[in-house]
Amino acid sequence: MSAPVASDAQRNEVEALYRRYGPMIHRRCRALLGNDAEAQDCLQDTFIGFLKGNWRGEAQPFTVLYRVATYQAIDRLRKRGRWHGRATDLKVREDEPDTSLEEQAAAKQTIAESERVEWAHDLAILTKGEDDFTMTAATMHWVEGHTLEEIAQTLGVTRKTVSARLSRFMERVAQKREVG
């Protein structure tokens, strides 16, 4: 991916963004890709993608960068082209009411690392052609076990929107399977 040319002011702005969000993006890429060197490439591509995009009126930089980073990482996983059979029966898990922070955190820790990687590979294939929002929400929900509320908070939308977008994604997957 080639990089744009910039003014000093833009460079200062990007440096500030990197200091604030770069480590988060790097960890996000590394968690999905399982490879430090590739995570640095993913970090770089995320910023280039962010700078090339038109994000005016979009949510906070954290939200946008998180989505772009997920998109870049999943795109890289897709190129590996491995199907593990984890994502054969997608279901949106509705949030349990009154679930404490501790219970939510514990639920996520029960997902084994190897299982996450396999889910990520499967979703990378299923999300081909999907927008970065859907790809990110799907990854957060099925790969990382985040609740709909957590996804909504992170992506700056309502829980209902997340649920609807994931449901439509599942419908598209089902249609593709019928055709295929």
Partner 1 sequence: MSRKLTDLQLERFLADAMSPAERAQVDAALGSSPEDAEALRLMKADTEALMVQLPPAAFVEKVMPTKPGSRAFGAWWAALATFAAVVVAVVFWRSSPVEDDLRVKGSVGWKVLASGKGAVRTLAPKDAIAPGETLSFQVTSAEPRYVAVLSHAPDGWFVYAPAVRIESGQSVLQTAALLDETVGDETLFLASSEAPFDANAVKEALSQGAATVVTIEPLPLLKRR
Q: Write out the residues near partner 1 by the rule CB under 8 A.
A: 3-6, 10-11, 14-15, 18-24, 26-28, 35-38, 40-41, 43-44, 47-48, 51, 60-63, 100-102, 104-106, 108-109, 140, 144, 146, 150, 153-154
* C-alpha–C-alpha distance, residues 80 and 95, integer Å: 32
Q: Is 117 in contact with 132 (CB distance < 8 Å)? A: no
Q: How far is the CB of 2 from partner 1 (least distance, A)?
A: 8
CB of 146 to partner 1, least distance (A): 7
Buried b or exposed e, range 142-179, using 16+ CB within 10 angstroms: bbbbbbbebbbebbebebebbbebbeebbeebeeeeee
CA 110/CA 103 separation, integer angstroms: 11
C-beta of 14 vs 125, nearer to partner 1: 14
- Which C-beta is closer to partner 1: that of 19 or that of 56? 19
Nearer to partner 1, 27 or 91 (CB): 27
Shortest Å distance, C-beta 15 to partner 1:
5
* Residues 6 or more apart whose Cβ sits within 8 Å of residue 34: 117
CB of 17 to partner 1, least distance (A): 9
